Amino acid sequence: MRPHAIQCTATIFVLFATTAQAATLEVGKGKPHATITSAVAAAADGDKIVVNKGRYFESVTVTQARLQLVAKAGVQWYPATYNTGTLTVAASADHVTVTGFTFRSRGVALSIAGADATVSRCVFRACSMGVDSSAAGTTISRCRMALCSSAIHVVGDRATVDRTAASHANSYSIELRGNDAVVTRSTMHGSADSGGIDVYGDRARVEDNRVWAVWNEGVRVSGADAKVLRNHVGPCTSDHGVHVIGDRALVEGNDVTQTYNDGIHVVGADAVVRSNDVAFSGDDGIEVTGESFEIRGNRIHDCVDPSGGVRANNGAGAAPKPAVIAENDVRDSTGSGYEVTGVGVRIERNRAIDCGNRGFYVAGSANHLTGNSVVGCGWSGYDVASPSSELTDCTVRDAGQDGFYVWGANSTLTRCTAIDSGADGLHGAATGVTFTGCTLKDSRLDVAASAMTPLTDGGGNKFVTGGVDAAPSH
């Protein structure tokens, strides 16, 4: 026989021998094992324990690796004594799977110290804690947690929670501490004194979840490179809907409503906040603070606090990173549409409609506003405090006060339009403000400036009235 044929035959034999060693142990009335404890004591690494219908009052510790614990329909597992744990997976027991049990425990129902454990299709009711893991690679899938003081707590990298529901937790619904955590397609609601999903660690991914009727934040992630995608969040009684702390966050496609504080609150450099829907936030719809950001394509409406729809700050460094606010739509904010403090921020093609205060408030320096529109704000359409800023192709209609109130020195307006402003179409309140090719009409005064800060007419402007402003002071 050729040598390679001998090797293949030997390999097949070893695999067969290894597979043959695995056993299935049955638990239940009339089965070889009357208790789960007995079956676990008799099991070896890689064995499978099948538990048949019944109520089991036991506290069990698993030390075997790759052990499978599988419950048939109608299995309810209680601890041996009140207020103690039910199942413990020891550190030596890696790759253990637990499937199909209903746990009822006033202690910790399932405690895991072994790596890469999988818990699936289990129910946890009225436990002080459903799953408490201190190991890496814990996966919890298709489970239901109800009336637990805390539902899921994992300290370890690579935790995954998938298609799991937690309701009416008193402490926290999901808390994961470790890198590369994933929470997906899960639901959290009715938490009286906790939030929905809390993740602490880098590279977290929180996507396609539903969180509502929670006391604190709906989704909170603290760590770099987080992805918070397509979640439905709110109402949240006393905090933000989505809160991310860490650089390079991506917050995209979320639907956030009825939050006590900000709908979406992000702190960290290089954040991307894109294509989210935010409604009825008690503070800002979206707030982003960091050296660089992209806030694009979001829809915000009915922010009920005077703060505003979008608030952003890229710092005041001498050489800031690029920052962009583009193609957002803010409607019916009781505060301002946009409040931006930064250096060199590009504010492009945004809309502010029926905001109670200003359409845009811009502070810092050298910011660029292009193609933005304001309709029906209660105060000024554009309140520009940042010097050396450029406004190009911006429009405002039906502002309660000035269409453009510019008090940042050496700023320019090019091809801008203000129609039907309650005070001035353009009010220059700083030196060196130049307007060119602008259309300003149907306002109390189309163009106005104080005697000490005259405007410079760059030519091509269309306006009728002008002079020294006597409108109410800002």
- What pLDDT is recorded for position 470? 40
Question: Which residues, in sequence order, are bridge partners of residue 98?
Answer: 69, 119
pLDDT range class, residue 451, cuts 50, 70, 90: confident
pLDDT at 231 over 50: yes
> Which has the minimum average pLDDT: 136-140, 272-276, 310-314, 450-454?
450-454
Residue reference for tokens 């009715």: 190
User: Is 124 in contact with 101 (CB distance < 8 Å)?
Assistant: no
Q: What is the DSSP string of 154-175?
A: EESTT-EEES-EEES-SS-SEE
Angstrom distance (rounded) from CA 44 to CA 63: 9
Phi, psi for 99 (deg, rounded to 5): -135, 130
- What pLDDT is recorded for position 474? 33
Q: What is the largest CA-CA distance in the chain?
A: 107
Looking at residues 358-362, what average pLDDT do you find? Answer: 96
Tell which residue, 212, 229, 128, 108, has the closest CA to residue 119.
108
pLDDT at 140 over 60: yes
**66 — alpha (psi -120 to 50), left (phi > 0) or beta?**
left
Tell which residue, 269, 268, 276, has the closest CA to residue 310.
276
Per-residue pLDDT of 71-121, as tens digits, reads 999 999 999 998 889 999 999 999 999 999 999 988 899 999 999 999 999
pLDDT at 193 over 90: no
Question: Of all helices (H) and strands (E), which one includes residue 5?
Answer: helix 3-21
Residues present in the chain in total = 474
Per-residue pLDDT of 271-309, as tens digits, reads 999 999 999 888 899 999 998 999 999 999 987 766 689
- What pLDDT is recorded for position 8? 40
Please, which residues have CB within 8 angstroms of residue 30's CB and are 6 or more apart in sequence? none
Angstrom distance (rounded) from CA 269 to CA 152: 30
Per-residue pLDDT of 8-19, as tens digits, reads 444 433 333 444
- What pLDDT is recorded for position 4? 45
Angstrom distance (rounded) from CA 398 to CA 418: 8
Give me Rg for the CA atoms of the chain: 31
Asked if the peptide bond before residue 235 counts as cis, ω within 30 degrees of 0, the response is yes
Per-residue pLDDT of 384-405, as tens digits, reads 999 999 999 999 999 999 999 9
Which amino acid, one-letter code, is at 107?
G
Phi, psi for 396 (deg, rounded to 5): -150, 140
Per-residue pLDDT of 13-54, as tens digits, reads 333 344 457 899 999 999 999 999 999 999 999 999 999 999
- What pLDDT is recorded for position 472? 32
